[in-house]
Structure 1
Amino acid sequence: MKSRLDPLTVAAMAVTVVSISATAPLTAAATASPLAMAFWRNCLGFAVLGPFLLLLRRREVVRVVRGERGVLRREQWRPLVFGFLAATALALHFAAFMTSTRLTSVAMSTALVATQPVWQALIAAGQGVRASRRTWTGLTLAVVGAAAAAGLDIRSGGTALVGDLLALAGALAQAGYTALSERSRADVSTPLYSTFTSLVCGLELLLVCWFADISLTGFDRATHLSLLGLLILPQILGLGSLNFVLGRASATTMSVLLLLETPVAALAAWWFMGQNINPATVPGLLLIIVGVTVVVTSGSGEHATDPLDAYDVGIPPYPAHTPYIAQLPSVPQQVTSRHRSFRDPRVAWASHSGDESPTVTLTYHGAGAFDTLYMRRPTPPDERPSIDGPTLMLTNRGRRK
């Protein structure tokens, strides 16, 4: 993908970074329970994504409601289970991250939760993905930076150390959400999936607040303003400008730029809340940013340990660089089938250049971008859904030459 860094794109990038950076300061400035804030964060997210879903994906919603996509067929239960698990991981992310902003500094909370790509790389390594040396170098830098930045909290103990651990738990939960989402959303568009996860996550947090007897109403003015800011800034402006930028710049570029959330959030917390940054933590925070940057930009060096030809699915392994773009046939054809046919994933692969790693997954605080790219290897034969009924028929209505 060729970046078009015109003034409008640069302005949208700035709006994205500033809007998303407001998440931690707005949460820390509120007086309500962090779990209540997490519930309303997802409730507001669902209220925003729902109308956009009906506007952009109305036909898809109608097909799902009518059952024409066979969402609840036997072979679809597994993706559905992974979807619920992903939403649960998202709920844990919100609860841990938003609670950490109250117990530790905004700078530490945002820096530690920004290590999500590190945990995602470790999860991929556990699933059999071989990481490059550059990736392991970034992992080492990020871990050393996190240990150095949290050194003062470790020595002093208390609530600050608990906040640091919760921020790391939030990063791990977000990485789990991303990994589970890749296994559950193969046949669902991102708008529909984001709305679904926001709904499930909000319901789970509502149950937690109900069992813990946490009040969801009667907030003061500061909390109301924080909730309004979360709706306008990260949810509307942040997500909207991010999706606009992804149509003009690569996901890798935006992943690196989103790391600016740490200094921008720390500056906002200092300016509006008088929250100072301990100079002793600055080197560690910088190491975290550098390490995560190395991990994010080293995706092109990852290769699966299991060869793709181990699966007898009739599809050759993906080439490193596709030699040509797949073209449509010149003769008009009509496809008539009662079921949706399987598309060769190399067609989608061919539409992307080698400038960007196809394994980049861009998320921020649990909100997936609408243009995020997920490339999955072919499904093994024992996991492929069976298709009953008539076979695929091609009717050629062109004139014979």
Structure 2
Amino acid sequence: MHHRLDPLTLAAIGLAVVSVSSSAPLIAYAAAPALAIAFWRNFLAVGVLGPAALVRRRAELRDMVIGDRRREARYSALAGVALAVHFATWMPSAQLTSVATATALVATQPVWQGLLALAQGRRLRPVMWLGIGIAVVGALLATGADLGTSGKAIVGDLLALAGAMAAAVYTGLGERARTVLSTTTYTLVCYSVCAAALLVVCLVGGVRLGGYGHTTWLAVLGIVAGAQLLGHSMFNYALRKVSATTVSMLILLEVPGAALIAWLWLGQVPPAAAYPGLALLVAGVAVVVLGSARAARRPPEPVV
């Protein structure tokens, strides 16, 4: 049973929602290549997490290299690669299509996680199929609204969906690693591999990694401090008082939150035809999240 929400927990949840909602608008605002921003947000996060992990988790890190946690090290590294794919697809999408559409489409991650579970032989409850159907219809309507705007927006929509798929893979691999590893150790390894992979992509692709104006660097630091570190840390803090399902539902507030920030700050308004699709998409994902939670609470079926 969860405790009654106190003002500190409510403040943490509010701060977390605002922090993650600021990510896409900051990406759209920054005058830098999205791949470079993706590299710097992970590299700088490693710089923050590294010293603490080396001091407090040295034995755990050693076990990942020469001890009995090498399997979890592989899962963490693979999760880092999947995270790199997520950032390399979703972050450019925020600069190609509207912030609202990019955020809504990448929020379909639970839908792809459900389909991955189906591919692994698990059965999905009817309510989850309902949610997936609603989300698919919403995604089609939202992307269809971009057909009348530009081909660039359609590419952004597709990249956002690819980012959601990669995030589902990243989450699945991370769950396997986190069965043994601490959050700090797993995050450090994952972000390090992600930063290294993105650095290679940037160097091979000739992506400019420096020479930006001070406002762009402030935007990058805002992404690191907000979405990368503060937002998820506050959600993790809130998990002490609220269920994981509630946190998953609260994360969906990133969609209207990012849209509101983009409207107030960037003057960015998605096409009117996109609103019904975005609403259906978020509703469908919410149904999937709730259906997944109910399935997790069900007792296992007897083996016959």
User: TM-score band (shorter)?
Assistant: over 0.9
Determine the structure 1 residue equivalent to 2:80: 87
Measure, in 1, the Cα distance between the counterparts of 2:277 and 2:60: 50
Change (3 A) 1:268 1:131: same
Measure, in 1, the Cα distance between the counterparts of 2:287 and 2:10: 22
Q: How many matched pairs?
A: 302
1:222 Cα shift?
A: 2.5
Structure-to-structure mapping, 1:128-277, within 5 angstroms: 128-277=121-270
Change (3 A) 1:72 1:124: farther
Structure showing greater radius of gyration is: 1
1:63 Cα shift?
A: 4.6
1:87 Cα shift?
A: 0.9
CA deviations 1:353-377 (Å, max 9, x no partner) are: xxxxxxxxxxxxxxxxxxxxxxxxx
Could you tell me whether the CA contact under 8 Å between 1:130 and 1:302 is conserved in 2? no
1:217 Cα shift?
A: 1.2
Measure, in 1, the Cα distance between the counterparts of 2:226 and 2:96: 23
Amino acid of the structure 1 residue aligned with 2:270: I
1:71 Cα shift?
A: 4.7
Q: Which moved more, 1:144-153 or 1:76-85?
A: 76-85
1:11 Cα shift?
A: 1.5
CA deviations 1:72-125 (Å, max 9, x no partner) are: 46x755443333221111001011111001100000000000000000010011
For 1:112, what is the secondary structure of its paired residue?
helix
Could you tell me whether the CA contact under 8 Å between 2:42 and 2:195 is conserved in 1? yes
Amino acid of the structure 2 residue aligned with 1:118: V
Change (3 A) 1:10 1:301: closer
Amino acid of the structure 1 residue aligned with 2:230: L
Confirm whether residue 20 of structure 1 aligns to residue 13 of structure 2: no
1:145 Cα shift?
A: 0.5
Unpaired runs of at least 5, structure 1: 311-401
1:300 Cα shift?
A: 3.9
Determine the structure 1 residue equivalent to 2:58: 61
Confirm whether residue 122 of structure 1 aligns to residue 123 of structure 2: no
Amino acid of the structure 2 residue aligned with 1:35: L
Change (3 A) 1:188 1:29: same
Measure, in 2, the Cα distance between the counterparts of 1:283 and 1:4: 35
Structure-to-structure mapping, 1:275-286, within 5 angstroms: 275-286=268-279
Please identify runs of 4+ aligned residues in structure 1 that moved more than 6 A.
Answer: 306-310
The TM-score with structure 2 as length reference comes to: 0.92
Measure, in 2, the Cα distance between the counterparts of 1:130 and 1:162: 32
The TM-score with structure 1 as length reference comes to: 0.71
Could you tell me whether the CA contact under 8 Å between 1:43 and 1:198 is conserved in 2? yes
Higher RCO (CA-CA < 8 Å; seq separation 6+): 2
1:180 Cα shift?
A: 1.8
Aligned CA RMSD, in angstroms, stands at 2.2
Could you tell me whether the CA contact under 8 Å between 1:129 and 1:302 is conserved in 2? no
For 2:273, what is the secondary structure of its paired residue?
helix
1:30 Cα shift?
A: 0.6
Could you tell me whether the CA contact under 8 Å between 1:120 and 1:176 is conserved in 2? yes
Could you tell me whether the CA contact under 8 Å between 1:132 and 1:301 is conserved in 2? no
1:186 Cα shift?
A: 3.0
Measure, in 1, the Cα distance between the counterparts of 2:64 and 2:75: 17
For 2:117, what is the secondary structure of its paired residue?
helix
Confirm whether residue 33 of structure 1 aligns to residue 26 of structure 2: no
Could you tell me whether the CA contact under 8 Å between 2:141 and 2:274 is conserved in 1? yes
CA deviations 1:20-67 (Å, max 9, x no partner) are: 100000011011111100000101211222234346xx1x423532xx
CA deviations 1:280-299 (Å, max 9, x no partner) are: 11111111111111111112
CA deviations 1:224-261 (Å, max 9, x no partner) are: 12112112222343133222211111111111011011
1:154 Cα shift?
A: 3.3
Determine the structure 2 residue equivalent to 1:4: 4
Bigger proportion of residues as helix:
2
Could you tell me whether the CA contact under 8 Å between 1:117 and 1:295 is conserved in 2? yes
Measure, in 2, the Cα distance between the counterparts of 1:4 and 1:54: 36
For 2:112, what is the secondary structure of its paired residue?
helix
Amino acid of the structure 1 residue aligned with 2:193: V
Could you tell me whether the CA contact under 8 Å between 1:29 and 1:222 is conserved in 2? no
Measure, in 2, the Cα distance between the counterparts of 1:172 and 1:308: 32
Q: Which moved more, 1:210-219 or 1:183-192?
A: 183-192
Measure, in 1, the Cα distance between the counterparts of 2:69 and 2:186: 14
For 2:284, what is the secondary structure of its paired residue?
helix
Unpaired runs of at least 5, structure 2: none
Structure-to-structure mapping, 1:34-49, within 5 angstroms: 34-49=34-49
Measure, in 1, the Cα distance between the counterparts of 2:262 and 2:59: 44
Measure, in 2, the Cα distance between the counterparts of 1:276 and 1:70: 47
CA deviations 1:206-225 (Å, max 9, x no partner) are: 11111112121111122112
Amino acid of the structure 2 residue aligned with 1:197: C
1:156 Cα shift?
A: 4.8
